[in-house]
Amino acid sequence: GNSVTQMEGPVTLSEEAFLTINCTYTATGYPSLFWYVQYPGEGLQLLLKATKADDKGSNKGFEATYRKETTSFHLEKGSVQVSDSAVYFCASRGETSGSRLTFGEGTQLTVNP
């Protein structure tokens, strides 16, 4: 089956620092990949996605590139803000029709002023 592994957290950064959250996946076939963000007390929101190799998803200054050769989808942001403090989830959705979304365990990001 499919699985997603995220770097262990929590991650604490100062404002304007560079962010990387690692994500690797295992899957049969060719999944779509997603990053979700969860702010305190809220549900998950789709942050960005990529559906094929070398695709780059981007939104709100965040980027992630689908790397088939390394089975990775690392999340990056050049300059984080306090408002980026949240939990970030990497997820994959498999190639077969009707496939489920499989989540990593989540990474807590705290950005200090």
Partner 1 sequence: NAGVTQTPKFQVLKTGQSMTLQCAQDMNHEYMSWYRQDPGMGLRLIHYSVGAGITDQGEVPNGYNVSRSTTEDFPLRLLSAAPSQTSVYFCASSKTLARNYGYTFGSGTRLTVV
CA torsion sign for 30, 109, 8, 42 is negative
Among 46, 54, 56, 68, binds partner 1 (CB under 8 A): 46
* 54 is a contact residue toward partner 1 (CB under 8 A): no
Reduced to 3 states (helix: H, G, I; strand: E, B; else coil), residue 113 is coil
Residues 88-107 that bind partner 1 (CB under 8 A): 89, 91, 93-101, 103-106
Asked whether 34 and 49 are in contact (CB, 8 A), the reply is yes
- Token duo for residue 61: 């200054």
List the x/- string, 55-84, binding to partner 1 by CB under 8 A: ------------------------------
- Token duo for residue 72: 């990775």
CB of 18 to partner 1, least distance (A): 25
Among 19, 21, 25, 34, binds partner 1 (CB under 8 A): 34
* 15 is a contact residue toward partner 1 (CB under 8 A): no
* 40 is a contact residue toward partner 1 (CB under 8 A): no
- Token duo for residue 11: 């991650």
∠49-23-70 over CA atoms, to 5°? 95
Q: CA 75, CA 57: separation in Å to the nearest integer?
A: 9
Contact footprint for partner 1 (CB under 8 A): 31-32, 34, 36, 42-46, 49, 51, 89, 91, 93-101, 103-106
